[in-house]
Structure 1
């Protein structure tokens, strides 16, 4: 195991900047996740760390060693690619044994190879597949073998490039649980990249959100979820995306939905009179069936009309028109309302996020230290 430090990493492809000043510090034994959409620079960052790409600026340090000029096979990193990349003519056992026979990574004797393969395949639940060929495996089994081939040999840092992206939802959930357990048991240093926010929140000891080749936020999954630094991070976490309602400060309150909904704000939020803001509400934080009477302390009430209701198994996603402003709400089927019905919405002020105002396609920063301050003020 070892630490990983990346400072000021930059990589260009012609005039296009894929990675623009990335700074990362992964601690010994940490499971660190980089989250970002396609084209954010996730895979390019991993390849630079592994030595598969030359970068234009910055430096990389693995286990206390500067990697400048160090060949990939001397960096002692193990990388799993998005594709399975298994040898089709070799059995599962032979695929797993291949990195243990390499002179570049250090050859292991037959007994040690078997012991390491046994340990990894027991952990991944594929010990019964040793004699099968890749063509005889399911996608989930191939993915486990590909992961096993990375984990079977010791390395200072393990680099995992969206290794679950080709699996169906059920297998992804199962593999997430196995990876989490494997990380806790083996205490290995891992840098994992993904576009799936659920994977990031479920697996990461810490999460870095990447946008256009730049790190936007690094924190624990809880903090990234509850304290997104801007609207990009807020929208990147959650499905459906967070509602962003345009509003304006008026008399110590934020007024949205044409002024029909107002939210008390404390002075510490740092807003000024008539300042444009955005109010963020996660669809699953909003409930229906609220008492249409007086608004209780610490709660925000809204009334609207259901314009669209889409059933998603046990839950229902509703689009509610609040004075001309659409608000997406996800509730259980028991609390859903049919299209055309009037509905009262309710959300705790501690779940209300406030961001600076701006153009619809421009991301803006969070205001204040925490949404829970709104609840305290109320």
Structure 2
């Protein structure tokens, strides 16, 4: 496998920006996830690495070699597209073996092709489908064949473009587990594109978040979950979305106008009286109880439940806290019902503080990533939290 470096990649489609000065490094054998909404530049990034689009500026290095002007078939990368792109007139076995028959990656005898097809189909659990045609397969089976056609050939870098986007929720969860296991087994350098934060948290050794063709943040899943660089990143991870409320410094506390929300202002931020900020509180960090909790580092305030919605194991609860509303995730209980008076509790270590932003823009995170807004309780990992919220 190989170390991948892209420096200052820029690609425009007329007046539309695909990617804008993007620079990333992917370590040898790393499973690297690129996360972002539609139009963020994720697919353009993959195509630029593969050489399928000609960039306006910047460079791509694989294993220390400049590949920017090298033809795609000489870059030794393998790419799986969002569409399955299977040959309809070929069987599963023939589709899988097609990269080995091209001759561009070396010569493989019929016996060697058979051995590699058998190995890949066994790994993906589709060995019984080898003689079927794509029209005879389910979407999940087609997805496995498309993935297998990438994995069957040796490559320096594997590029996967939203390979699970067409699957239902249950099958996506199963395929995520399989991809994690394949990554451990194959020890490959992989760049995986997705718009699904759960996939990113579950699969990535590191995650890069893109917006409008630019890099917003790159770090480990845990670091991005705990210390999002701005409100855009905070909103990108988690469902229901993080609560973002406007607050003002008044008498040593950050207060949300029209509500009972008030938390002690961290002194190290150097905020002055009347300073405006945004507070971010994830629904999974809010406890909705029947009585107040009096403990150091805990903020509690009364509220009334206005809406509940069952989300699998948890219930999404909307709580009016006096002029404002907070969304929380609760495991349920007799007190979780519409119209009930409750107490909303949150650990101060779980509160994120951001700049106010201008005209709806995304405010940057305030203060060090280390203190004081990093959770220290024995909570689940972000991947586990995201799975539980389904």
Identify the TM-score tier after normalising by the shorter chain.
Answer: over 0.9
User: How far apart, in 2, do the equivalents of 1:217 and 1:105 lie?
Assistant: 35
In the alignment, which residue of structure 2 is the partner of 1:340?
Answer: 339
In the alignment, which residue of structure 2 is the partner of 1:80?
Answer: 80
The 5-angstrom pairing of residues 261-280 of structure 1 reads 261-280=261-280
Note the residue ranges of structure 1 that are not aligned, 5 or more in a row.
none
C-alpha contact 1:319 1:328 (8 A) present in aligned 2: yes
C-alpha contact 2:291 2:342 (8 A) present in aligned 1: no
SS for the counterpart of 1:176 is helix
The 5-angstrom pairing of residues 55-204 of structure 1 reads 55-204=55-204
C-alpha contact 2:290 2:341 (8 A) present in aligned 1: no
C-alpha contact 2:205 2:220 (8 A) present in aligned 1: yes
C-alpha contact 1:257 1:323 (8 A) present in aligned 2: no
Pairwise CA distance, 1:182: 0.4
C-alpha contact 1:242 1:281 (8 A) present in aligned 2: yes
User: How far apart, in 2, do the equivalents of 1:260 and 1:125 lie?
Assistant: 55
In the alignment, which residue of structure 1 is the partner of 2:387?
Answer: none
In the alignment, which residue of structure 1 is the partner of 2:6?
Answer: 6
In the alignment, which residue of structure 1 is the partner of 2:48?
Answer: 48
TM-score of the superposition, structure 1-length normalised? 0.95
In the alignment, which residue of structure 2 is the partner of 1:210?
Answer: 210
Pairwise CA distance, 1:312: 2.3
User: How far apart, in 2, do the equivalents of 1:99 and 1:21 lie?
Assistant: 33
Pairwise CA distance, 1:68: 2.4
In the alignment, which residue of structure 2 is the partner of 1:319?
Answer: 318
Pairwise CA distance, 1:333: 2.6
TM-score of the superposition, structure 2-length normalised? 0.93
User: How far apart, in 2, do the equivalents of 1:150 and 1:98 lie?
Assistant: 10
Count residues in correspondence: 375
In the alignment, which residue of structure 2 is the partner of 1:356?
Answer: 355
User: How far apart, in 2, do the equivalents of 1:313 and 1:122 lie?
Assistant: 33
Pairwise CA distance, 1:269: 2.6
Q: Deviations over 1:56-102 (max 9, x none)?
A: 11111112110122100000000000000111111111000000011
Tell me: CA distance 1:119–1:375, structure 2 relative to 1, closer, same or farther (3 Å): closer
Confirm or deny that 1:227 pairs with 2:227.
yes
CA RMSD of aligned residues (A): 1.6
In the alignment, which residue of structure 2 is the partner of 1:39?
Answer: 39
Pairwise CA distance, 1:371: 7.6
SS for the counterpart of 2:357 is coil
Q: Deviations over 1:35-54 (max 9, x none)?
A: 00001010011111111101
SS for the counterpart of 2:372 is helix
Tell me: CA distance 1:318–1:152, structure 2 relative to 1, closer, same or farther (3 Å): same
Tell me: CA distance 1:300–1:40, structure 2 relative to 1, closer, same or farther (3 Å): same
In the alignment, which residue of structure 2 is the partner of 1:286?
Answer: 286
Pairwise CA distance, 1:339: 1.8
Pairwise CA distance, 1:229: 0.3
Note the residue ranges of structure 2 that are not aligned, 5 or more in a row.
376-390
C-alpha contact 1:8 1:22 (8 A) present in aligned 2: yes
SS for the counterpart of 1:373 is coil
Pairwise CA distance, 1:340: 1.8
